[in-house]
Amino acid sequence: MNIRTNILLRVYLAFGLIVVLAGAVFTKLCYLQFAQGKKWKAMADSLSVKYVNVDAARGNIFAVDGSLLATSVPEYELHMDMLAGGIAADTVFYDKVDSLAAKMSQFFGDRSAREYSMILREARRDSSRYQLIRRKVSYQDLKKIRQFPIFKLGRYKGGLIVVQQNKRILPFRSLAARTIGYKNENVKNPVGLEGAYSEYIQGQTGKRLMQRIAGGVWMPVNQEEEIAPKEGADIISTIDVNFQDVVQNALQKQMIKSNADHGAAILMEVQTGEIRAVANYSKVAPGEYKEKFNYAIAGNQDPGSTFKIVSYLALLEDKLVDTNTMVGTGNYPIKGHTIKDSHGSIGVVTVKKAFEESSNAAVAYLVDKNYHNDQAKFTDHLYEWGLNEKLDLQIPGEAKPVVKNPKNKSWNKNMSLPQMAYGYEMQLTPLKMLSFYNAIANNGKYIAPIFVREIRRLGSPVEQFKARVINNKICSDVTLKKMQEMMEGVIIEGTGKRIIYNPLYRIAGKSGTAQVADANKGYKARRQYQASFAGYFPADKPKYSLIVVVNDPKNGYYGAEVAGPVFREIADKVYSSDLEMHQNLPSHYVGNTQLPQVKTGNMRALQQVYHQLGVKPLFAANAPRSADTSNGIAPQEIKYKKGTVPTVTGMTLSDALYVLGNAGYKTAVRGSGVVAHQSVTGGSMIPKGAKITLELQ
């Protein structure tokens, strides 16, 4: 084979291989284009464009009076498209970028104008289409930012990209914060109303089309959402913001004063079961307390002496004792233990007196003696009254009550019954205990508390709630009446007399002091106590029930001394603010009902005051005092002769200065109050500019 033939053979072979390879590539392209075209196109779109969820504005949570407890406010994240139409030309951008940087520096105050200018210029060189400008911008600030240089060129021309987000705020800050709760994707269990009613509150999410640009950054394709989100429904709670403030302040003060570990207070409306206020505090530092755990609904502990109402209710209902039955106090020995009265024996007294003085020995003896041979009869009452069941609350986190019976393995036939009689060997939450007290106030009707009254969407009710009835009648009217009298006796003659009693209105209740067991070492560890006070008011026509629980106080531990002052402060302030409860107040407690004397003074100012107060003034004949007529109040000036000294005795200082100043006299003042004496008597003739001394008292 010659050289020429060899070369041609190689050329043909190489050309043939190229043709075959080209054919294979062409065939593959056709296969990808026509056979798998839809698949790869969808994949390409998913990598460069996608829809993302846009959270809806969560619904509002309102107090019972319409006050806003929780709401969502818009918050914005600002970005900038450095290649937007209005600044595409370098001359436009670089002519205004320094002005924009200066404005941003002045407005935000976190960087100098030079630093902002460098950031913007660098983003321009990198052709950034989604440069971050600012996070967490309010709507009011956004309106001002839109007027900055470059941005004010227009919605699309200026390059400003606004991404709206929603921020949850509590207008009253810490007020009822734990009851309001929160919705957090990282928290498995829901908290408060936000968590329990999230399905209603969260609304329906929208959709926004996003495009991936250089650097793996996703930016909105359009300024508006493709599918607009729908706002959530509103929750009308039962909380009263004024009462909530009272309850929180009263509890917090006592927590600090007693150096307690934690505590709770709950105010409930008797007939409706609506919770008007609930406060929970945990110590986070010396003298500092915050709401970190809802002890009111999840704080299961031995209730102590507040449980005695249940024991006496069973004894009275079974007609095993009466209020005048005599019983010994002091010590009651049981196998392996002696139940003692911490204040010592008060001798042999009536059942009513033993209850009023909170004798542990008396109630332990009565329950043990009368139910010892049929112990299930006592616990059957507790189960019949539902004390062993949850209240099925509207908010999550309720602890399961622990109430033993003789079938339990831990039941001790010698100790369990007398221990339970005064609130041990069981676990109940403060709200569970309050609900039973509320049943006594509510003429025996035992209802489950509620925190939400209504759900509304666009102002229209979606769902309304009423308290669930647990037991229509926990006992007979005779038993109920005796129990109510005994509870009122605690305040009049018993442990609550010194601290709780108020002569203006009647209160019924019971104090409680329980030794709390250590989780690891039991009762033999360092002694810890739980002080509590539960009751209702006004006792003659109950409207509110209330419980206060203070755990591990270091300065005193008796229920009446530690929890009692909180109960009294809350009850007093609630009573004073609810006019329906004291319409029949005795006349000697009503203030002065006679009209005040009206003296000569600044009549224009007086008329303005009357106008603001809605008082109809009359202006008639001259008289030194106001006249009470069917048409209104007649304030009338006392005239004085020109050139003579006016009489200003009895006036306030401001009016006296006004009158004497207009008459042309100088004044000197001593004392405070109203004018009792003037150095120059009224009607005297002295030259203008003379000095008159006023003595006030």
The model's pLDDT over 162-198, given as tens digits with 9 standing for 90+, comes to: 888 888 889 888 889 989 988 776 666 778 999 889 8
Q: Give residue 624's pLDDT.
A: 36
Out of 204, 237, 270, pick the residue that ends a domain: 237
Rounded to whole angstroms, what are the CA distances from 396 to 181, 195, 267, 504?
10, 8, 19, 39
Domain of residue 26 covers: 3-35
Would the CA dihedral through 366, 477, 426, 267 be positive or negative?
A: negative
Mean pLDDT, rounded, for 551-575: 93
Please give the tally of structural domains in the chain: 5
Q: 606 in a domain, yes or no?
A: yes
Is residue 1 very low, low, confident or very high in pLDDT (cuts 50, 70, 90)? low
Q: At what angle do helices 360-371 and 308-317 cross, to 10 degrees?
A: 40
Is residue 660 very low, low, confident or very high in pLDDT (cuts 50, 70, 90)? confident
Q: Is 550 exposed, middle or buried (0-12, 13-18, 19+ CB in 10 A)?
A: buried
Q: Tell me which of 27 and 44 has the higher pLDDT.
A: 27
Supply the CATH number for residue 692's domain. Answer: 3.30.10.20
Q: Give residue 623's pLDDT.
A: 34
Q: 491 in a domain, yes or no?
A: yes
- 265 and 376, same structural domain? yes
Q: Pick from 219-233, 307-321, 571-585 the range whose average pLDDT is largest.
A: 307-321
- 537 and 438, same structural domain? yes
C-alpha distance across the termini of the chain, in Å:
141
Q: Give residue 507's pLDDT.
A: 96
Out of 577, 604, 622, pick the residue that ends a domain: 577
Is residue 520 very low, low, confident or very high in pLDDT (cuts 50, 70, 90)? low
Q: 148 in a domain, yes or no?
A: yes
- 537 and 453, same structural domain? yes
Percent of the chain residues topping a pLDDT of 90: 55
- The neighbour count for residue 646, using CB atoms within 10 Å, is 20
Q: Give residue 283's pLDDT.
A: 95
Nearest Cα neighbor of 308 from 259, 343, 355, 270 is: 355
Q: Give residue 646's pLDDT.
A: 86
Percent of the chain residues topping a pLDDT of 70: 86
- 481 and 336, same structural domain? yes
Residue type, 489: G
- 389 and 419, same structural domain? yes
Q: 586 in a domain, yes or no?
A: no
Position 676 pLDDT exceeds 50: yes
Q: 44 in a domain, yes or no?
A: no
Our CA angle for 681, 687, 689, nearest 5°, is 95
Mean pLDDT, rounded, for 339-362: 94
Q: Tell me which of 542 and 643 has the higher pLDDT.
A: 542
Q: 113 in a domain, yes or no?
A: yes
- 541 and 416, same structural domain? yes
Q: Find tokens 């009689």 and name the residue.
A: 421
Give the C-alpha separation, 150 to 93, whole Å. Answer: 8
Is residue 342 very low, low, confident or very high in pLDDT (cuts 50, 70, 90)? confident
Helix, coil or strand: residue 210: strand
Q: Which two tokens stand for residue 229?
A: 């989100």
- DSSP codes, 462-509: EEE--PPEEES-SS-HHHHHHHHHHHHHHHHTSTTTTTT--TTS--EE
Q: Which residues contact 30 (CB under 8 A, 6 or more apart)?
A: none
Q: Tell me which of 263 and 682 has the higher pLDDT.
A: 263
Q: 46 in a domain, yes or no?
A: no
- 667 and 619, same structural domain? no
- 543 and 421, same structural domain? yes
Mean pLDDT, rounded, for 602-623: 58
Instruction: Give the DSSP H/E element, type plus range, for residue 313.
Output: helix 308-317
Out of 173, 205, 237, pick the residue that ends a domain: 237
Supply the CATH number for residue 80's domain. Answer: 3.90.1310.10
Position 586 pLDDT exceeds 60: no
Mean of pLDDT over the chain: 85
Which pLDDT tens digit goes with each residue over 37-94?
Answer: 776 665 555 557 777 777 778 899 999 988 999 988 888 999 998 988 888 888 889 9
- 250 and 230, same structural domain? no
Q: Pick from 32-36, 208-212, 487-491 the range whose average pLDDT is largest.
A: 487-491
Query: Which of the residue ranges 12-21, 427-436, 528-537 would you say has the lowest mean pLDDT?
Result: 12-21
Position 551 pLDDT exceeds 80: yes
Position 472 pLDDT exceeds 70: yes
Residue type, 17: L
Nearest Cα neighbor of 117 from 84, 87, 144, 95 is: 95
- 183 and 100, same structural domain? yes
Rounded to whole angstroms, what are the CA distances from 354 to 106, 328, 556?
74, 8, 22
Position 600 pLDDT exceeds 60: no
- 251 and 223, same structural domain? no
Q: Give residue 110's pLDDT.
A: 92
Q: 582 in a domain, yes or no?
A: no
Position 657 pLDDT exceeds 90: no
- 423 and 571, same structural domain? yes
Mean pLDDT, rounded, for 111-137: 92
Give the C-alpha separation, 691 to 666, whole Å. Answer: 5
